[in-house]
Amino acid sequence: MTTIELAYGLGLVMGLIALALTGVTLGMRLSARRQEKGRQAFRARWRPLLLQSLEGEPPRLPPLAKAQEIWFLELWNSHQEMLRGQATREALNRLSRSAGMDRAAMRRLGRGTPQQRLAAATALGFLQHAEAWDDLCRAARDRDARLSLAAARALIQIDAGRALPVLSPLISVRRDWPAAEVAALLDEALDVVVAEALAAAARGASSSAAARLIRFLEATQCGPACAAVRSIAGEAADEEVL
């Protein structure tokens, strides 16, 4: 084989490789475009259902394909982050459970992609899904900083008092956890612990003392505090407490 023939053959091979790579790249772009179009259509269909669930009327839910689970979790998480109030979060939680997304989040946390595991850990925290405790403890030790922080927050949302002894050793060694996010994590934990302590004190206090403690409880604006206020108000007969 002459040098010219060899060069021609190599050029032909390189051209075919370039053509194949171009085809693969084009296919990936088309697939990503179709996926994004599907995601947008999903959001357009499900966002009104999430908002409808906040009005107290359980919406009729369309079936969810497994490929759509991550889209649901991401959309649902964004509403949990955006909206405030215990009643709002409880309504969103009911919708998520009725759609089977608590079970989907458990599956995705265990064997999903990094993005799916992150969304799953976040959702399990909002759901306060106690059955996920052991899986979240493992995720909190994951090398992925974003996942481990999301799992740590979820543990605090489920049971702050139980979570702090688990997380304290991690906080001391995880240099990849940004200080600001750790501080926010501890603030959230302390809010819950303080709220639980105030609620316990209010239940055993006199009417005037309970009324004062309830005002501080309401100021924390965390889930356990709101639940405690409703419980104490429901049990109280004194107008000062009500």
CA distances from 145 to 20, 162, 197 (A): 37, 21, 31
Q: Which residue is it, tokens 């109030």? A: 85
pLDDT tens, position by position, 164-211: 889 989 988 899 999 999 888 888 887 777 667 766 776 666 767 767
Give me the half-sphere count of Cα atoms (radius 13 Å) on the Cβ side of residue 237.
Answer: 0
Q: What is the pLDDT of residue 8?
A: 60
Contact 154, 124 (CB under 8 A): yes
Q: Which residue is it, tokens 């009324």? A: 211
Q: What is the pLDDT of residue 132?
A: 96
Q: What is the pLDDT of residue 23?
A: 63
Q: What is the pLDDT of residue 34?
A: 66
CA distances from 77 to 8, 81, 140, 147, 181 (A): 57, 6, 19, 14, 18
Dist. CA 108–CA 209, nearest whole Å: 46
Report residues of the chain scoring pLDDT below 70: 1-2, 4-35, 194-195, 198-199, 202-205, 207, 210, 212-242
Give me the half-sphere count of Cα atoms (radius 13 Å) on the Cβ side of residue 120.
Answer: 25
Q: What is the pLDDT of residue 54?
A: 85
HEC readout, the chain: CCHHHHHHHHHHHHHHHHHHHHHHHHHHHHHHHHHHHHHHHHHHHHHHHHHHHCCCCCCCCCCCCHHHHHHHHHHHHHHHHHCCCHHHHHHHHHHHHHCCHHHHHHHHHHHCCHHHHHHHHHHHHHHCCHHHHHHHHHHHCCCCHHHHHHHHHHHHHHHHHHHHHHHHHHHHHCCCCCHHHHHHHHHHHHHHHHHHHHHHHHHCCCHHHHHHHHHHHHHHCCHHHHHHHHHHHHHCCCCCCC
pLDDT tens, position by position, 68-80: 999 999 999 999 9
Positive or negative, the CA dihedral 14, 20, 24, 27 is: positive
